[in-house]
Structures are given as C-alpha cells and as structure tokens.
Amino acid sequence: MPTQQPIGVFDSGYGGLTVLKEMVARLPQYDYVYLGDNARAPYGNRSFETVYQYTLQCVKWLFEQGCPLVILACNTASAKALRTIQQNDLPVIAPDNRVLGVIRPTTEVVGEYSQTGNVGILATRGTVLSGSYPIEIAKFFPDVRVYQQACPLWVPLIENNEHNSPGADYFVKQYVGKLLAQSDQIDTVILACTHYPLLKDKIASQLPEGHRIISQGEIVAGSLVDYLKRHPEIERRCSQGGDLRFYTTDSPEDFDNHASIFYGKDLHSGHVHLV
Ligand code: DGL
C-alpha cells in the first residue's frame, strides 16, 4: 500500500502542469502526483474510444499510487472520457474515489466574464467536436452564445517548444481570426486547452482591445478549494505532506527539459510504462 494519498493530476502531456501550478499555489499543504502521457500525446485529434482507453489507464495508475482524487487537467480527456469513467468505471474499480475534470468549473463561471453574452472557445479538435463547452455553458448560462474554433496545430507547436517562433505567430493569427470571424460580439475568449496559456500573449495580441482571455488554472484551483470544503470525506483522505512527484510515459529527461516552461520551476520526473 502506498504511504501517501496524493491528489492525482493527469494530462496528455505538459499542459496540465499549468493547472497543477495554480493548485499548488492555492493548496500547498497537500501531496500531489502528476502523470503526463507524453508518449501518446497529443490526444486532441484522437478518437473518443482511444482517448477514453488512454485516460482510464492513466487514472487507474494514479489510483494505484494511492490517489483518492484525480483531476483530469486536460480538456480533451475531460470532454471525451470523464463522464464514462465517472458513470461506468468508478463504481466498479474504485467506488470511493473521485475523478473531476476542467470543463465544468470553467463553464460554471464563464458567463460572469462576458458583457455581451458572446463567448469564444479555443480548443483542440476533440474538445470542439464533443460539444462539451456549448452543452455545459447552456446549463449555467442559457442566454450566452458560444462560438468554437479548433486549433489542431497549437498543441504540437507547444509540445515541440515552438510556441515563441514565427510559425506560432502564423497559426495563432489564423485560428484567432477564424474565431472572431464567427461574430463581432465575442468579448471573452476561453483558452479551453491547458497547453494554451503558453500562447496567451500571442493570442492577446490578435484580439481587439478590451477582450478578456480566460485561462483555466486559477479557475480550476479555486474550484478544487471549494470541492474539498464541500467533500470532507474526500479531503480527509488526501495526505498533507506538501510533496510533489512527477511522472511521464515518455523520456523523463525530455520531460524535465520541457516541463519548467509550463510549471515555472525546474522539476524531476520518473518514467511510467503503461501497456
Ligand atoms: N492539454 C490538453 C487539453 O487541455 C491537450 C490535448 C492534447 O493532447 O491534444 O485539451
């Protein structure tokens, strides 16, 4: 049996580190274990079935590490795998554990940011095709109109450390332009992929003055604070040693070299082999 019961944080690669960073800033007392499935990233263009199978495998591994609670810090996994895992798998594999995503906390607050009631979503193709954002926003803010734009080349650019290159400028301009062309009323843009905060400045430079850009890290961290208050039965199972561990399904050396860009600090990871 693992001695710790850390909060598990999962992403297809590095993007979830932008969320973990904010969680640790708000809740430094807990232990955390991060798993990036870099060997199989990006997930954004993969089928529902594949994203579900990969995500489930990673969640099971995090449970084996003792995690009572796992956060899918990946919109694509939250959109394509979360509901099935919550409804079909959890009751069988770990009925007392919980798995949460990043879409719900974001959609719960998004309507509060827009003055015009017109919100733009920038996301992976998988997240856009799932329709999760329009569906969830309609539950909380039925009057808000949602416009989506898939940005399939952004995650590969970021994962390959090209996000500051002129090539990134070109593709940021292209996708932001396509989003804004859908409505001149959009005043709020959600970065609905945990990788995209690395492109935030470039995206901002393509938006007219006064537009708001929302990245999810702080929203998800705030939502976790609230969740743990409302669920003492989960909170008391999360160990509090302030320990952080990082794992990747690909090369730890590569992970360590790239991860600090996302996490803001140097870190050291271990390797996990998932079959
Ligand atoms: N960070 C993931 C997300 O939030 C990236 C998805 C991918 O691997 O393409 O959607």
Mean pLDDT value of segment 118-132: 96
> Is 74 annotated in the active site?
yes
- Interatomic CA distance for residues 275 and 268, integer angstroms: 23
Residue bearing the CA closest to ligand 1, atom 2: 74
Residue 1 reports pLDDT greater than 70: no
Q: Which residues of the chain are in CATH 3.40.50.1860 domains?
A: 7-101+218-271, 104-216
pLDDT for residue 2: 77
193 an active-site residue? yes
pLDDT of residue 200: 96
Q: Which CATH number fits domain 7-101+218-271: 3.30.70.580, 3.40.50.1860, 3.90.1150.10, 3.40.50.300?
A: 3.40.50.1860
Cα 237 from Cα 114, distance rounded (Å):
38
At residue 158, the 3 state secondary structure works out as helix
Q: What is the mean pLDDT of the segment spanning 63-68? A: 98
Q: Which CATH architecture has domain 104-216?
A: 3-Layer(aba) Sandwich (3.40)
**Position in ligand 1 atom list of the atom nearest CA 102:** 4
Q: Which one of 18, 52, 106, 155 would you pick to mutate in the ligand 1 pocket, going by the greatest count of ligand atoms within 8 A of its CB? A: 155
Rounded to the nearest whole angstrom, what is the distance from the C-alpha of residue 15 to the centroid of ligand 1? 7
- Give the model confidence (pLDDT) of 178-236 as tens digits: 999 999 999 999 999 999 999 999 999 999 999 999 999 999 999 999 999 999 999 99
Q: What is the DSSP string of 243-260?
A: -EEEEESS-HHHHHHHHH
Pocket test for ligand 1, best of 34, 160, 194, 214 (most atoms within 8 A of CB): 194
What is the model's pTM? 0.95
- Which residue out of 67, 151, 193, 238 is catalytically annotated? 193
Does residue 275 have a pLDDT over 80? no
